[in-house]
Structure 1
């Protein structure tokens, strides 16, 4: 009987904590994770925080701090300046897809599309998802690749997939 009570208590705790987590928007999830501090800074500089706290759903391919470190520091600093808000917003909205696309959806799409799926980003450009070397990658408009290193981080208004390189639009 004690085991049954313990199991029920653990199950209820997990259910309640998952429901509490699901109440956070994708922005809240990013703000709560130190690996996304540069992304959060960029979202604020581009004035996109409010837009990504909207109802959605959104799928965000979120670059880590290490992904942003691959960009020349002078270029990154320049992008964060107020005068470059439009250019930064274009880059960041290239990381966002309208809809809730899970890893399972991506894998199914890759099978159906012979290893290629094209997704239209919020900035209007196409991101290509490809499977190569037994990994799943994003291919940007410039032909550069970013590995999807974690998937299905859920928020109340969408899902985050973590990437290791900032993807760039045309």
Structure 2
């Protein structure tokens, strides 16, 4: 099955609920979230909004190089755990440059698919599933990666973290950035598939 087919047909992992953001949120004068200095408009797609965010340029370049622009511009719904430029900077930069080459499109698409769930899951839904599962909820992404999602802290200090199959931990630094075709949660580490 193609990556696009997986993204469009994967079963929903999360239930849709409404709720407030868990992590720090910056709002525009119009009440829309700000990511990387850009207003995230709820009537624009994930790709359209991410293309305007200064801190997501590496992610956007990777989505383009992987040939996933049309897929992530589609109807969705999608939940995207979006690594920032700083998250990509933690990786070996020679490997990143290699992944961005056309001949490595499939490998890059596999990594990016570890950040996408075929559902519209806000932070309240995610935290509910974590609590229902006794403190950790496994999430299978459209790429087949399993991310273990946990929460730490309470009240204003509550954070959601994801652990990938290699043991790397990402923190959601900005949650519940709603788009026309899903929701984005900004994270500080790139999630990778098992070796």
Is the TM value for this pair above 0.5? Answer: yes
Looking at structure 2, the residues matched to 22 and 73 of structure 1 have their Cα atoms a distance apart, in angstroms, of 33
Instruction: Determine which of 88, 100, 113 is the counterpart of 1:80.
Output: 100
Q: Does 1:135 align with 2:159?
A: yes
Instruction: State the TM-score, normalizing by the size of structure 2.
Output: 0.76
What is residue 45 of structure 1 aligned with on the other side? 65
Q: Which has the higher contact order (CA 8 A, sep 6+)?
A: 2
Matched pairs, number: 156
Unaligned runs of 5+ in 2: 1-28, 34-39
1:51-100 deviation per Cα after TM superposition (whole angstroms, max 9, x unaligned): 00000000000000000000111010001011110000000011000100
Q: Does 1:114 align with 2:138?
A: no
Please give the secondary structure, in 2, of the residue aligned with 1:42: helix
Q: Does 1:149 align with 2:169?
A: no
Unaligned runs of 5+ in 1: 1-12
What is residue 6 of structure 2 aligned with on the other side? none
RMSD: 1.9
Looking at structure 1, the residues matched to 49 and 193 of structure 2 have their Cα atoms a distance apart, in angstroms, of 25
Looking at structure 2, the residues matched to 23 and 112 of structure 1 have their Cα atoms a distance apart, in angstroms, of 32
1:81-139 deviation per Cα after TM superposition (whole angstroms, max 9, x unaligned): 11110000000011000100000101111111111111110112211101246532100
Looking at structure 2, the residues matched to 111 and 169 of structure 1 have their Cα atoms a distance apart, in angstroms, of 25
Instruction: State the TM-score, normalizing by the size of structure 1.
Output: 0.86
Q: Does 1:60 align with 2:84?
A: no
Q: Which contiguous aligned blocks of 4+ residues in structure 1 show a shift greater than 2 angstroms? A: 131-135
* Offset of residue 144 of structure 1: 1.1
Please give the secondary structure, in 2, of the residue aligned with 1:29: helix
* Offset of residue 14 of structure 1: 4.4
Instruction: Determine which of 46, 51, 54 is the counterpart of 1:31.
Output: 51
